[in-house]
Amino acid sequence: MMGFQPVILATDALIYLLVILALAFAWYTRRHAHLRAPWRRVAASRTAMGALVVIAVYVVIGLLDTLHFRPASGEDAQGHARYASEVQSVLDLLATPLVAHREKTYSAPFATHLYTRETIELPGGGQVRDFPRLKWGGAHLGDPARRAGDIAWRSAAGVALGAAAWLLWMALALRRHPGGWRAWWADPGRAPMRTAAWVWLVVLILAGLVLTLAGVYHILGTDKVGEDVFYQSLKSIRTGLVIGTLTTLVMLPAAILLGIMAGYFRGWVDDVIQYLYTTLSSVPGVLLIAAAVLMMQIYMNNHQDEFNSLTERADLRLLFLCVILGVTSWTSLCRLLRGETLKLRQLEYVQAAQAFGVGHFTTLMRHILPNVMHIVLIVVVLDFSGLVLAEAVLSYINIGVDPNTNSWGNMINSARLELAREPVVWWSLAAAFVFMFVLVLAANLFADVVRDAFDPRLRERS
Amino acid sequence: MTQPQVQSDSAPVLEVRGLRTHLGPARQPVRAVDGVDLSLRRGETLVLVGESGCGKSMIALSLMRLLPPTGRVVDGEVLLDGRSLLDLPEVAMRRERGGRIGMIFQEPMTSLNPVMTVGRQVAEAVQLHDPAHAGQPRARVLELFRQVGIPDPERRLDEYPHQLSGGMKQRVMIAMALAGRPDVLIADEPTTALDVTIQAQVLDLLRALQRETGMAILLITHDLGVVAEMADRVGVMYAGQLVESGEVGDFFRRPRHPYSRKLFAALPDAGKRDRGLDVIPGMVPPLNQDFPLCRFRDRCEAAQAVCGEAPPPWRGGAADGYRCHLAVDEIRLLHAATPPLRPAAPAADRPLMRARGLQMHFPIRRGVLRRTVGHVRAVDGVDLALYPGRTLALVGESGCGKTTVGKALLQLLRPTGGTVEYDGHELTRLRGEPLRRLRRAFQIIFQDPASSMNPRMLVGDIVAEGMRAQGIGGDRAAQRARVAGLLAQVGLPESAMQRYPHEFSGGQRQRIAIARALAVEPRLIVCDEPTSALDVSVQAQVLNLLKTLQAELGLSYLFITHNIAVVAYLADEVAVMYLGRIVEQGPVGTLLNTPAHPYTEALLRAVPVPDPAHQREVLRLEGDMPSPANPPLGCHFHERCPRAEARCREAYPPQVELAPGHRVACWVAAQGSSMPRMVK
């Protein structure tokens, strides 16, 4: 039996923490009416529910890519299991064919031949310069000319598979619904759920297409070293999500604590904190990030033996990038919270607490913090897409994640030179763009609805 | 201009028939206006009166077709000179709006664009609605400004809204509404946000303009005093319907509908001091339901079997009748349902809390170095004594510093000068733990029950907060029992503990606030306008509660208010504040009946009395209160005082005792009294 050894990288641990926090928050929300109400407004939005399905698919892929382990690679002399040095994730396991189907170099999406001419030894001796057949892409085809028919047939099967899965899903989900699916379909209150169902249909059809096509073709082509671009794009999802969420997790404690302290205590506390964030936000963020990342790089190069594997090293660099992004981005939230706290501390219930002799810390935790949480939530959700995009920009100028980490920024970075080629290698860039665009669009749509639902001023107007 | 008189025989200029306005989802709409008929003749004032949530404002917005996005008129007709407004296309309606129908709103602060000069804003209205002056609107704007009594109109023309006081802004709004020479002026609570002396000015102005132009006024208010002052005819709204209408004299002499009668009985005044006020139990029902029966039935003491069978018919004529099953003499109401209260405690020798020379100066900082360039003298030398079991009312207009006094007494703001003595402790010098422990003895109740409770906390935790902070009330179970007891004391069920503040009405929230203050067993409560955000019937409940608690627990109140009727009902002593100082102080009867200071007199006369027969002699106060950052030399009041003399401009008058306990700071009053005794 093949054993395995679970591995928890630094970012994995934080992601688990984030998941636990999210679950705790959901549990807390269920018990508090004032938190339930705005989420119910979110759930009543068709846009939000559609976007949520897309985000959920990304999150599931990202979480699958977070479950890391080392596969057993045999037994040592004492009969103890030995484990491979390279760390894998569950996603790698599921995508084994994509990992294994490695070509020599570039190939276009759905190609059967390489993108570059090579000298091919003819069986009967002699050489010819031509586009060689790919080792894996379309290898099952005896005759490459039958490719179009094969793709059409497999696509049809994929669509059918997706649709069938969707129908099965809906049948199971609506089994208990009173009045059956007809009532569900006609109920105007269920319109958001129907939107989600339609998006889910699209997702399942895409999944079906991937199942039938990705095993035998490189559906998004291959890159310079022959790696499947679709696989790279999938792996990049985790990086994007980690940057978008962990950065916030890192910066939140500082931003919240300093923000409400500045607004509540005023006086010299306010002066110090304002001075701190004004100074920090005056330094160009890119400069700070570049300096920190380069320092980190030098440290890592000088202490190579401290890291067990390349993956671990790359992961630490990713975490470090989150931290430094967090350090440069907490100021805006801090400023917002300070302003809101200035307003809240004038409110009569804060003064009533003062009249009872309630302590400062208790007042902050009981009266101020819960009443600024909506701002925190709005900012977190709005910042997410900005951070995902920031990663791409930073990696593009080589101060982002480790070059060994799959990320959309790295994909764009490595594809930029190929854009000058004739004919152009466009698919790496296009794949990164599409994956990032879908995630950011969904996140933005969702964020807009969340903001509308949580912002009390907007609520009064509607 | 048209004839300056009521043309009672003429056809109505505005007629509303069967108006129904719905808000919100079509499946379960809020029936904000549910079948209302009105008619308004030229030169006539019709006042709609009722509690909040009765649909008064929605009628006005329906007429103007300015309903919020979720609102719609589902039925009925609105005829302006026989022309149906509801059928007009929006383009034509825009000409009518601000043209033949003008409207002024409650909040002059938010109705004006802060980045445009007021002159330009009025000129815009002139250009839209007065083609004769469209080319040269300035002259017409000046004329309008003069018409609404804005002093120095040439200069005001180029000022921005923030440079004007609230009363001036409301005058600008009126000028704007007059720009189109309207036949009908709709005024939605035009004076609610203003002080009484300013309210008197604005109401005078509206009456004068009506005499001059002959326009019809539809006035919306919740204040029966304003009704008596302004109305020719009255319509009482309840839960989206008119329940009574009639001539103003008849209405005040003999209100017919049980609701109208209870409204009068709930008004506080001096004559009811020794008993509780009548209350209307419950509250206005939510309007998102069908009403097959009388809407007032659940709150009506006179309800009989017939009220549970069919919707009540309209008795009498369209312009003079009421909506009830019962004839007037069949309606039996229980007046003074509450038992007589114990009279207030006699004045004790030693005050519970005494402030001497209390000062609260806020520095004005300017420039890069934040140097102090002056002080806002919000409170400038106030002497007060609060006696156990008695109520001192602190009266004054907004901005006079009365709330600051309350907070400075409780050390919620640390006074910049003077002393506050409580039970042998000098509070202004105490800090930290000793002050924290003393805090349980003096508590505060705020004006706005919406913002005085953390919306994220359960009511049980809110009430228990003080006990927990002070470490009293025993363990958690004992505290819970005590909270339940306190809620019962203020008339709320135990189940309220598990609910959030927003689930309660304004009056209930104010009772929760009272329970919260009582939780730490205080001896003194500062009540900062606790009833001014409440409707009359709810105000009566809160005042009754405060009075009962005082009799039971011997509490001492500092009652901060601008409502003279409440003062007359509740207070033992009154102190009148003007610009950070107390100008007159004395026992409630003396001070209200024979005010010595001209400001007190003006304040009392400015209060509209709910009795149209009462002809008040208005002591007109010109202008507004000066800024406390830069008070006038001499007596602070001399610029507005009708009796000012030369020396009033030179020195601030000393406090003089006119009679035992009745002190006044006025040169003129001191001179007029028979035996002035200097006390300071």
Q: How many domains would you assign to chain B? A: 4
Query: A414, A233 in Cβ contact below 8 A?
Result: no
Check CB contact under 8 Å for B469 and A362: yes
Q: Does B407 touch chain A (CB under 8 A)?
A: yes
CATH for A233-461?
1.10.3720.10
Task: Choose among A397, A400, A337, A422: nearest CA to A371.
Answer: A337
Check CB contact under 8 Å for A355 and B436: no
User: Is position B317 within any domain?
Assistant: yes
Check CB contact under 8 Å for A348 and B454: no
Token pair in block for residue B101: 């129908």
Kind of pairing between the strands at B184-188 and B233-238: unpaired
- pLDDT reading at B338 higher than 70: no
**B553 & B606 share domain:** yes
CA distance B428 to A50: 60
CA distance A239 to A409: 10
pLDDT 10s digits, A75-94: 777 777 778 778 888 998 88
Cβ-nearest to A355 among B70, B439, B451 = B439
pLDDT category at A1 given cuts 50, 70, 90 is very low
List chain A domain ranges.
233-461
Crossing angle of the two packed helices A427-454 and A408-415, in degrees rounded to 10: 150
User: Is position B575 within any domain?
Assistant: yes
Pick from B142, B159, B179: which residue ends a domain? B179
pLDDT 10s digits, B193-234: 778 888 888 888 899 889 988 999 999 998 888 898 899 999
CA distance B317 to B257: 14
Q: What value does the CA radius of gyration of chain A take, rounded to a whole number of Å? A: 26
Residues in A touching B439 (Cβ below 8 Å): 355-357
Task: Tell how far CA A164 is from the center of its chain.
Answer: 28
pLDDT category at B9 given cuts 50, 70, 90 is low
Q: Min CA distance, B109 vs chain A (Å)?
A: 18
Q: Can you tell me the mean pLDDT for A440-455?
A: 87
**B270 & B246 share domain:** no
Mean pLDDT of the residues in chain B:
85
Query: B505, B299 in Cβ contact below 8 A?
Result: no
Flag the least confident range among A280-289, A290-299, B341-350: B341-350
- pLDDT reading at B340 higher than 70: no
Task: Choose among B389, B377, B313: nearest CA to B353.
Answer: B389
Q: With helix as H, strand as E and coil as C, how does A8-65 read?
A: CCHHHHHHHHHHHHHHHHHHHHHHCHHHHHHHHHHHCCHHHHHHHHHHHHHHHHHHHC
Pick from B208, B238, B253: which residue ends a domain? B253
**B403 & B486 share domain:** yes
**B267 & B228 share domain:** no
Highest mean pLDDT among B517-531, B638-652, B661-675: B517-531
Q: Which residue has the higher pLDDT, A96 or A462?
A: A96
pLDDT 10s digits, B180-198: 889 999 998 888 877 888 8
- pLDDT reading at A156 higher than 90: yes
Q: Which residue of A has its CA nearest to B432?
A: A357
**B518 & B592 share domain:** yes
Q: Can you tell me the mean pLDDT for A96-114?
A: 85
| CATH number of the domain that residue B32 is part of | 3.40.50.300
Provide the pLDDT for residue B283: 75
* DSSP code of residue A95: T
Q: Phi and psi at residue A104, in whole multiples of 5°?
A: -85, -45
Cβ-nearest to B451 among A348, A362, A370 = A348
Q: Does B521 touch chain A (CB under 8 A)?
A: no
pLDDT 10s digits, B44-73: 999 999 888 788 888 998 998 888 888 889
Number of CB pairs < 8 Å for A and B?
68
Query: B390, B572 in Cβ contact below 8 A?
Result: yes
**B203 & B78 share domain:** yes
Task: Tell how far CA B152 is from the center of its chain.
Answer: 30
CA distance B624 to B221: 23
pLDDT 10s digits, A18-50: 999 999 999 988 887 777 888 888 998 899 999
Which pTM value belongs to this model? Answer: 0.79
- pLDDT reading at B5 higher than 50: no
**Mutating which of A351, A374, A459, A461 best tests the B interface, going by the most B Cβ atoms within 10 A?**
A351
Residues in B touching A355 (Cβ below 8 Å): 410, 412, 439, 442-444
Token pair in block for residue A245: 């969420």
Provide the pLDDT for residue A23: 94
- pLDDT reading at A306 higher than 90: no
Sheet with B371-386, strands from edge to edge, namely: B371-386, B353-366, B417-422, B425-426
Residues in A touching B469 (Cβ below 8 Å): 353, 356-359, 362
Q: Does B520 touch chain A (CB under 8 A)?
A: yes
pLDDT category at B676 given cuts 50, 70, 90 is very low
Domain assignment of residue B64, given as a range: 14-120+180-253
- Sequence-ordered list of residues with C-beta below 8 angstroms from that of A78, at least 6 positions apart, any chain: none
**B114 & B126 share domain:** no
Q: Min CA distance, A28 vs chain B (Å)?
A: 13
Task: Tell how far CA B428 is from the center of its chain.
Answer: 33
Q: Which residue of A has its CA nearest to B519?
A: A356
**B185 & B174 share domain:** no
Check CB contact under 8 Å for B412 and A34: no
Query: A147, A138 in Cβ contact below 8 A?
Result: yes
Token pair in block for residue A101: 């189907």
**DSSP letters spanning B297-320:** GGG-TT--GGGGTSPPPEEEETTE
Q: With helix as H, strand as E and coil as C, how does B370-420 read?
A: CEEEEEEEEEEEEEEEECCCCEEEEECCCCCCHHHHHHHHCCCCCCCEEEE
pLDDT 10s digits, B481-524: 999 999 988 888 888 888 888 888 788 888 899 999 999 889 99
Task: Tell how far CA B301 is from the center of its chain.
Answer: 28
Provide the pLDDT for residue B335: 63
Check CB contact under 8 Å for B452 and A367: no
* DSSP code of residue A4: E
pLDDT category at A457 given cuts 50, 70, 90 is low
Q: Can you tell me the mean pLDDT for A300-324?
A: 84
Q: Where are the beta strands (DSSP E) in B255-313?
A: none
3-state secondary structure of B347: coil
Check CB contact under 8 Å for B469 and A357: yes
pLDDT 10s digits, A172-187: 888 877 777 788 888 8
pLDDT 10s digits, A339-366: 999 999 888 889 889 888 888 898 998 8
State the residue for tokens 């249909």. A201
pLDDT 10s digits, A378-432: 888 888 888 888 888 888 888 888 888 888 888 888 887 777 777 788 888 899 9
Check CB contact under 8 Å for A351 and B444: yes
State the residue for tokens 């609610």. B192
Provide the pLDDT for residue A93: 87
**B319 & B373 share domain:** no
Provide the pLDDT for residue B399: 79
State the residue for tokens 């593009």. A396
Residues of chain A with a CB closer than 8 angstroms to some CB in chain B = 32-34, 347-349, 351-359, 362, 366-367, 370-371, 462
**B322 & B397 share domain:** no
Q: With helix as H, strand as E and coil as C, how does B54-71 read?
A: CCHHHHHHHHHCCCCCCE
pLDDT category at B16 given cuts 50, 70, 90 is very high
Residues in B touching A352 (Cβ below 8 Å): 444, 446, 452-453, 465, 513, 516
Check CB contact under 8 Å for B466 and A359: no
Q: Does B523 touch chain A (CB under 8 A)?
A: no
Flag the least confident range among B249-258, B554-563, B640-649: B640-649
- pLDDT reading at B91 higher than 80: yes
Pick from B229, B253, B277: which residue ends a domain? B253
Q: Can you tell me the mean pLDDT for A203-228?
A: 89
Q: Can you tell me the mean pLDDT for A323-350?
A: 89
**B93 & B152 share domain:** no
Task: Choose among A429, A393, A436: nearest CA to A411.
Answer: A429
Query: A447, A382 in Cβ contact below 8 A?
Result: yes
Q: Min CA distance, B473 vs chain A (Å)?
A: 14
CA distance B601 to B619: 8
Q: Can you tell me the mean pLDDT for A61-70?
A: 91
Q: Does B449 touch chain A (CB under 8 A)?
A: no
pLDDT 10s digits, B370-413: 778 888 888 888 999 999 889 999 998 887 888 899 999 999 88
**B280 & B208 share domain:** no
Q: Between vectors from CA B570 to CA B564 and to CA B575, what angle results, nearest 5°?
A: 60
